[in-house]
Amino acid sequence: MAKQKGKSSVLNIIAWVTGVVVSLVVGFGMINGTLTLPMWLGGSSYAGSLVVIAAGWIVVITTLIGAVLAVLQR
């Protein structure tokens, strides 16, 4: 049983790190303009660009805060 618990723990850490990396990639993609809103949602307008950039920063900041809190909790 101990081996199963250790293997599960490693898989949980790998899944957590993968989630953090993907969240950061998406957030920075939104900030840099790689990921945008579609035209029909206003993505080609100035206001749409600002919304995407703000959402990107929110994703990055909340991901970093969540990662730090998770590390401190362990």
* pLDDT exceeds 80 at position 7: no
Residue 41 is classified by DSSP as G
pTM (2 decimals)? Answer: 0.82
Each residue's pLDDT tens digit, 8-41: 888 999 999 999 999 999 999 999 999 999 999 8
Taking a C-beta distance cutoff of 8 angstroms, is the pair 29, 58 a contact?
Answer: no
- Quick check: helix, strand or coil at residue 45? coil
Each residue's pLDDT tens digit, 43-56: 889 999 999 999 99
Instruction: Look at residue 1 in the predicted model and tell me its pLDDT.
Output: 47
Instruction: Look at residue 30 in the predicted model and tell me its pLDDT.
Output: 96
